[in-house]
């Protein structure tokens, strides 16, 4: 490996220009950096600044095929320095200590070599402006799933926030988050709807543990009931005004073309049969038995599945089927009102 491809362990004489150090003739972006760029005694006596580290790592990540190279570099460096990301901008010229560089170097290697998601390296991810603990036992909360939260909140205008569509005085809006994972959707809704009664389920005990811990941190634990089981089994006999779900919807046939980061996330939360609809088919078929008259079902899905799932909803007895688009203008959520057959 060319010495110019190595992540700095000691100091280095790097250019202060906007262009990051270039790849050496022999170096590979997928190999772990081992030496400073020139390796000379003078270099080891000097310190790398925040800006120099960010430039070097951004280039390294880009050559490794990481699309969010600069963002990832900033997040990891802020974590290694135990500071906020925005503080990096006011400390560009600050030297980074050797022990901090070693912490950073370990994170960079895992991100570029093993393609471990940044959320797992940091142990958390922001969703709906809330912090969520993230491990390999749960899916990383993604921006497109906020579309499901937005849709759900728009449906609460159909009835009083403190009274469900089936209840009289004293009844509360009842929401069921099926397949809660880290608890992102349920906790986001709890933060916006303090008067609602929320039940959140998952098939994975490990995921429920993470979701419960997140609820404790966000101080919503007393307003959410977490239950374990497959689909509607843990809420047998119960009905809800609103059911939301971000179920597994990735087709097994697409496994080979997925980003390598997904290999670090639970398969049971990703894949759902040959076409990705195994879980959604069961969910749609059973949801009516657990919705109040006029209640709503909202499901996140892959855009190419939209027409097929619309057909499933109509066949099952749902009406007023609507699409909600994500920030990339792709249909990401299907909502439908339960009328019954």
Q: pLDDT digit string (tens) for 264-274?
A: 999 989 899 99
pLDDT digits (tens, 9 = 90+) for 82-118: 999 989 988 888 999 999 999 999 999 999 999 999 9
pLDDT of residue 205: 97
CA–CA gap between residue 277 and residue 82 (Å, rounded)? 42
pLDDT tens-digit profile of 177-203? 999 999 999 999 999 999 999 999 999
Class of domain 125-338: alpha beta
Helix axes 184-192, 205-217, angle to 10 degrees: 30
User: Which residues have C-beta within 8 Å of that of residue 81, sequence separation ≥ 6?
Assistant: 50, 88, 96, 100, 104
pTM of the complete model: 0.80
Question: Can you give the residue ranges of every domain in the chain?
Answer: 3-114, 125-338
Question: Which residue, among 156, 207, 151, has the nearest Cα to 184 in the 3D structure?
Answer: 207
CB < 8 Å & 24+ apart, contacts of 26-32: 26/1, 26/2, 27/1, 27/2, 28/1, 29/5, 29/60, 29/63, 29/64, 29/65, 29/112, 30/64, 30/112, 30/113, 31/1, 31/5, 31/113, 32/7, 32/109, 32/113
Q: Does residue 307 surpass a pLDDT of 80? A: yes
- Between 338 and 11, the higher pLDDT residue: 338
Q: Which residue in the block uniquely carries the two structure tokens 């159909």?
A: 158
Band of residue 158 on the pLDDT scale cut at 50, 70, 90: low
- pLDDT of 22 above 90: no
């Amino acid at each position: 490996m060319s010495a110019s491809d190595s992540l700095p362990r000691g100091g280095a004489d790097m250019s202060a220009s906007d262009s990051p150090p270039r790849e050496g003739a022999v170096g590979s972006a997928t190999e772990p950096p081992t030496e400073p760029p020139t390796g000379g005694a003078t270099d080891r006596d000097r310190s790398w600044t925040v800006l120099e580290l960010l430039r070097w790592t951004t280039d390294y990540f880009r050559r490794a095929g990481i699309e969010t190279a600069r963002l990832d570099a900033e997040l990891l460096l802020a974590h290694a320095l135990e500071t906020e990301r925005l503080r990096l901008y006011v400390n560009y010229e600050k030297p980074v200590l050797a022990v901090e560089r070693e912490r950073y170097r370990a994170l960079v290697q895992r991100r570029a070599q093993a393609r471990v998601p940044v959320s797992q390296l940091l142990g958390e991810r922001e969703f709906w402006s809330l912090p969520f603990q993230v491990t390999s036992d749960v899916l990383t909360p993604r921006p497109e799933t906020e579309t499901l939260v937005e849709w759900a909140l728009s449906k609460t205008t159909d009835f009083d926030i403190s009274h469900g569509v089936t209840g009289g005085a004293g009844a509360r809006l009842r929401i069921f988050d099926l397949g809660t994972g880290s608890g992102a959707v349920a906790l986001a809704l709890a933060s916006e709807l303090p008067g609602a009664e929320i039940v959140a389920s998952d098939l994975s005990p490990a995921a429920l543990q993470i979701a419960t811990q997140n609820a404790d941190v966000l101080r919503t634990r007393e307003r959410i009931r977490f239950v374990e089981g497959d689909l509607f089994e843990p809420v047998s006999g119960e009905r809800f005004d609103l059911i939301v779900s971000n179920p597994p919807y990735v087709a097994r046939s697409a496994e080979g073309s997925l980003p390598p980061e997904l290999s670090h996330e639970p398969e049971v939360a990703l894949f759902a049969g040959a076409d990705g609809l195994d879980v959604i088919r069961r969910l749609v078929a059973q949801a009516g038995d657990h919705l109040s008259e006029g209640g709503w079902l909202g499901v996140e899905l892959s855009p190419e599945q939209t027409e097929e799932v619309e057909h499933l909803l109509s066949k099952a007895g749902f009406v007023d089927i609507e699409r909600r688009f994500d920030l990339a203008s792709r249909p990401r959520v299907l909502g439908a009102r339960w009328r019954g057959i």
